[in-house]
Amino acid sequence: MDTDQFIEQAEAFLTEIEREFYLVGSGRKEQLEIASIFDRYPDLFSHQTVEARLRERAQAAEPVAARYLATFAADGYMENTVKAISEEITNRELAATVEWDGEELPYRQVRTVLAQEPDQARRHDLHHRQLAVTAQQHDKRAERLRRLHQEATSLGFESYATLYETLKGLQLPMLAEAMSQLLSDTEAAYAQGLENALTGARVDPDVADVSDIIYCFRAPQFDPCFPADEMVRGLHRTMAGMGLVRGDDFGFVLDIEQRPKKSPRAFCSPVLVPEEVYLVIKPQGGSDDYDSFFHEAGHATHYSRIAPDAPWPLRCLGDTDITESYAFLFHYLVHNTRWLRDVLGIPLQTAEEFRRFALFKKLWFLRRYAAKLHYELTLHGGDPAETCDAYVPTLTEALQVDIAPENSLADVDDGFYVAQYLRAWIFEAMLRRFLEEELGEAWWTNRETGWFLRDWWWQGQTLPLSALARGIGYEGLDARPLVEELLGLW
C-alpha cells in the first residue's frame, strides 16, 4: 500500500486500539480484546508493509514523519506477532486474585493494599502472594520476548536493541553512560535518604524489600494536604494561571466517575488527537494520587493542544520522550514548595517537609530506571529466560533493598520505554530550569508560559527532543540540571 493508504488505515487502527484501552481502563469494559482489532487490519503490519516503511524512512524528503511511520509500523508488526500472548497475560492478570484476610483480593489491587498495610510481616506476606501470581506468567513473558527478538532480526536489524536504537534515536550507549554517572553521583545521598525513609516509617532496613518502599511512599502523614476533592480544582487553578483553560473547559474529557473495575491510577487516552482525549481518574486523595493525576494531565494537555490540521504522523505519533517531558513538567509541580503553598494552601514548613520526601521518591525512581536501563540492555542481548538473571543483582546494587526475581520479566516495557522515560526526566529538568530563569520561579502563574508551551504543542511532534533542547539554550540532552536538583536536597 502507498503512504496515504497506510496513514488512513493506521489512523483508524490506532483510534480503535486507544479506545479499547480507554474502555477497559476506565471500567466500562471487563475484557481487553486487541487481537480482533489487529485482525481487522491484516495488511497494516505485514512484513512487506513494514519493509516498505523502513525503505521510505531511508529515502524520505521529510525524515521526521517517515521515521515516525516506520516506528509505528515496526511497533505494530512486533506486537501483532505476539498479540495473542499479550492478551492472554493481561486477561489472566485482570481475572487473578490473591487470598487475603479471608477474601479474594484482585491481583491489580494488591499494590494499593500494600501501601496501606502498617505491619511489615503482613506486608511481606501479601507481597509474596502477589509475586506467586506474577510468577505464573513468567514463562509466557519469556516466550513473548523471545519471539520479539526473533522478529527484530527478521526485519533486518542486528538485534532488538538495534531496532529501537535506530528507529527511536535513543542513543542508548550515551544514555547508559550518563545513567552510570548519575548512579555514582547520587549513591551517598541515596543511601542517606533510604535510611531516613525506612527509619521514619519504622521499617527494619535489614529485611526491607520493594513492598516496604511502596509503604514508605504512601506517606499518610501528608494525606490532609492532598484531599481527593481538591485535585481537579488544583489542576484548574494551575492551568488557568498559564491561560490554558476557558471557563471550566480543560480542552480534554475528564473522566472522574466511580466504577468498580476502573483503574486505581490515573491515565490518559488520546483516542483521537486532539479532538478526543481522555484523562481518567478515580480520585482517592494522597500525594501519590496527585502525582499520577498531574502527570497524566500533562499528557492530556499536550495532546489536546496539537494543531488539528497537522499531518497525522506529527499529530498522533512521535517520540514518547517528548510527551513524557510535558507530563513530568506538570507532575513535579506537586513537589514544588511554592505551588503547594499557593495552590493547595499548605503551610510553608509542611510544604518543605513534603518536598524533601518527594525528592527522595524521585531519586528512588531515577535510580531504579537507570538500573533498569542497564538490565534491559543485558536482557535483550540473549535468551530472556537466561539473561533475566541479571535483574536481581543489577537493581539490588542500585536500590539497596531486596529485589524479587519473580518481577524480572514483568518489570519490562516494550521498545526500551525505560530509555524514553529517562530522556524525559533529563529534559524536564532542563525545561523547568529554563522556565524559572526566563519567566520566574512561579512560572505556572505566568500566561507567557502558556503561550510558550502552546507554541511547542501546536506543532505536534515536528521537532525531536534534541532540537527542543537547542531551542532553550542547550547543545543537547544534559543531565546536570537533574543531578544538581537531586543533590540539592543534602
Contacts of 305 (CB under 8 A, 6+ apart): 244, 251, 274, 454, 457, 458
Specify whether the CB–CB gap between 27 and 281 falls below 8 A. no
The angle that helices 417-439 and 348-379 make with each other, rounded to 10 degrees, is 150
- Which of these, 278, 325, 328, lies nearest to 423 by C-alpha position? 325
Q: pLDDT digit of tens for each residue in the chain (490 aa)?
A: 889 999 999 999 999 999 999 999 999 998 888 889 988 998 999 999 999 999 988 887 668 899 999 999 999 999 989 989 998 998 899 899 999 999 999 998 899 899 999 999 999 999 999 999 999 999 999 999 999 999 999 999 999 999 999 999 899 999 999 999 999 999 999 999 999 999 988 999 999 999 999 999 988 899 999 999 999 999 999 999 999 998 889 999 999 998 888 888 899 999 999 999 999 998 888 898 999 999 999 999 999 999 999 999 999 998 999 999 999 999 999 999 999 999 999 999 999 999 999 999 999 999 999 999 999 999 999 999 999 999 999 999 999 999 999 999 999 999 999 999 999 999 999 999 999 999 999 999 999 999 999 999 999 888 889 899 999 999 999 999 999 999 875 5
DSSP-assigned letters across all residues of 397-412: HHH-SB--GGGTTTT-
- Which of these, 309, 410, 411, 409, lies nearest to 368 by C-alpha position? 411
**Numbers of helices and strands, H then E, in the chain:** 24, 5
Instruction: Provide the β-strand partners of residue 106.
Output: 97
- Which of these, 98, 324, 291, lies nearest to 211 by C-alpha position? 98
Q: Cell digits for 394?
A: 543489577
pTM over 0.75: yes
d(CA 154, CA 148): 10
Q: Cell digits for 230?
A: 481538591
Phi and psi based region of residue 169 (left: phi greater than 0; alpha: psi -120 to 50; beta: remaining): left
CA torsion sign, 488 to 368 to 357 to 268?
positive
